[in-house]
Amino acid sequence: MRKNQNISILSILVFALFLVLTISCVDRLDFMGETNAGQLIIYGTFTDLDERQVVHVSRTSESGLAPKGVPNARVTLVSQSGGRSPYFSLGNGEYELNGVRAVAGNRYALEVVVDEKVYQSTFEKVPELVAEDKLSFSFDTEPFRTEDPENVFKVFSETTLPDTRDPIYLRWTIEETYLWPLAWLKGTGIPPPQPPPCFISDVIEPNRINLFDGSGTSTRNSNLLLGRRSVDNSFQYPFFVTVKQWSINRDAYAYWEKIKIVINNQGSLFDIPPAPVFGNISNVKDSEEIVLGYFEVAKTKTTRIFTTNADVPFFLLDPCQYIPSKSDDSYIPECKSCAARAQGRSWTTKAPAWWKYD
């Protein structure tokens, strides 16, 4: 494989995974022969949720390294009715829009200006349909990361499509958030206050793309495995799973289906694909310039489920349990620091607004 083709699927998807069936319109992959360093990558999703909307602008790097963010772009949401809403730069190629959300039935596009060149996505209509997700989970012992059996947590959805003949295309992302109490080390003298617990979040099985094409099926119900992860002491305390269902249009579905095909052909999200998958963004004055990425417009639905220690059929050891005879220095770092426990994952000491369980 030539050097110019050394861009990884992780580089292509790193911003989309914020970051499954075949579709008949995918006859072939729209691959080009080479991917050069410095090519523009634009990824973003605009939804109907009352949350911050994010776009990432970057350029490809050599040798499959992660893309480099472009911090000086001008990024604007454009509605087909003529409205324009600017995104604000957060640095390192991340752009944020607050207080604006998609309206079902309206059409939106993204405009990005980099080095006085204008790039724009095609206008996409916000879908009006979503499905109902009824979540469940199981704990099993089976091969997962290797051929040897291990304890595995699995999340399922019983999905019911709306009673309509209108086409519906869906994808799902799945995230975990779990509680991690730090050890209350008393020390000597007046004991310090008990440290607040950590709330640690991460994507479950990020190399998995869950898709469903409801346009050509007569069934209204489907049972889907959405994700798996190994069982460890993260399940010692309440463990929430957040499933976000994205109702997308046919072109976005076709794009994700192509990405999924490449991942399946290569065997891993982190392997090098034969070539990039092109999306819906182009240079308005130079159609020959290759632009990677996709700007997706989606109607979304969020569903959650949680587990507690009582649900886990396996023995879990709490390494941070306070033992009076144990010296403070003998506790491992993850018992003293949220950052040490998170190891690069997202964390906070403030409970999410939805953190409620019986």
pLDDT tens-digit map of 135-161: 999 999 999 988 999 999 999 999 999
d(CA 10, CA 25): 25
H-run or E-run covering 258: helix 250-266
pLDDT score of 29 more than 70: no
pLDDT tens digits for 98-139? Answer: 999 999 999 999 999 999 999 999 999 999 999 999 999 999
Q: What is the pLDDT of residue 279?
A: 92
- Residue 349 identity (one-letter amino acid): T
pLDDT tens digits for 259-268? Answer: 888 777 654 4
pLDDT score of 334 more than 80: yes
pLDDT score of 12 more than 50: no
Q: What is the pLDDT of residue 61?
A: 82
Contact 17, 209 (CB under 8 A): no
Q: What is the pLDDT of residue 275?
A: 54
pLDDT score of 2 more than 80: no
pLDDT score of 308 more than 80: yes
Q: What is the pLDDT of residue 242?
A: 97
* Global confidence as pTM: 0.83
Domain boundaries, the chain: 3-128+248-298, 132-247+303-348
d(CA 182, CA 195): 6
Mean pLDDT estimate for the chain: 86
d(CA 241, CA 125): 29
Name, in order, each residue with C-beta under 8 angstroms of 340's C-beta and a sequence gap of 6 or more. Answer: 333, 334
Helix (H) and strand (E) counts in the chain = 3, 20
Q: What is the pLDDT of residue 322?
A: 84
Contact 263, 9 (CB under 8 A): yes
Residue 311: pLDDT band by 50, 70, 90 thresholds?
very high
